Homo-oligomer: A and B are copies of this chain.
Amino acid sequence: MMVDTLTVDEALANVQQRMRDAAASGVPLVQQAARHIIDAGGKRLRPRLLFHAYGAAGGLRLEEALPLGVAIELIHTATLVHDDINDHSALRRGRVTVNAKWGRTIALLTGDFLFTRAYSLMAPQGDRFNQLLASACSALVEGEVLQAVVAKSGQYDRDNYVRIISLKTAALFSCAARLGGLKAGAPEEHVEALGTYGHNLGLAFQIVDDVLDITGDPGVTGKPAHEDAGQHKLGLVALARENGGTARGTNLRDTDILTEPLLAAGLVDEAMGKARELTERGCAALQTLPDSPARRALEGMARKVVSRDR
């Protein structure tokens, strides 16, 4: 059956425009600040995942999944604005951050605003969709709180690290994949499979993100470029340690762990191995879905996540 519908790339271009539209406001400053971060772009990984999941689940009119993609990316964007306040970040995607440009109060409110706009967009979607997204939103916040708690105590272990990245990253990935499947009207079993794929993709994505935070650091042998990098190193050490790696016994309270010994100890390789394992697990779950170009696109996303360099 051929239907004249959007391609995923066309849908993603639409997401960009619709995010800008959603940020319209009678109060110019909040619109300007919201569009500042929206226009900074990004990988738009979550809507991409949602759209491919929709296709893989047999959806034929990508238009109907568009508002979901917009809402999920608005929520992700809201969390970035709030994260940048908490991390005192001055740059995001090559642009000055909202907090650096307009101050903390406006940044806090801009994050809130993006969130309320996502909520507006979701209103017509019905109970199940809203419940799924609301749970993912709570998880995001819980993950950030847990990260702050663990960072403060220095009590990193593998369980903490996995729990943090499950909440703060994998929950929204899993939600995106499920929402796509649900919108396509897929049977529960397929929605579940997509959720499992999204969850594992999200975990792998965050591990690779943390690895890149270290290996992408220009001063490789120096101290972390920002506080976060130290946290990520500790997380990765904790992860590798339980993998039976060479890091056993590393003092996880030491925030001065250097990148060089980390590389030497093979921890980064171990973490990347773990990420690949997770994407494979995710792709295995997809095998319950019929083969299709969209399913292959999901498999391609998984490969890309573990081979990316930014």
Contacts and interface: CB of A to CB of B under 8 A. Distances in A.
Contact of A109 (B27, B104, B117, B148): B148
A274 to B, nearest CB: 23
A51 interface: no
Q: Is the interface of A mostly helix, strand, loop or mixed?
A: helix
B144 A116 contact: no
Interface residues of A, number: 43
Contacts of A126: 126-127
Contacts of A140: 116
21 contacts: A25-B138, A27-B146, A27-B149, A85-B104, A105-B148, A108-B108, A109-B144, A109-B145, A109-B148, A110-B145, A112-B115, A113-B145, A116-B134, A116-B137, A119-B130, A119-B137, A120-B135, A122-B130, A123-B127, A123-B130, A123-B134
Interface of A: 25-27, 29-30, 82, 85-86, 104-106, 108-113, 115-117, 119-120, 122-124, 126-127, 130-131, 133-135, 137-138, 140-142, 144-146, 148-149, 167
Given A109-B144, A124-B127, A124-B131, 10 more contacts: A29-B149, A30-B145, A86-B108, A86-B109, A106-B148, A109-B141, A115-B115, A119-B119, A122-B134, A123-B131
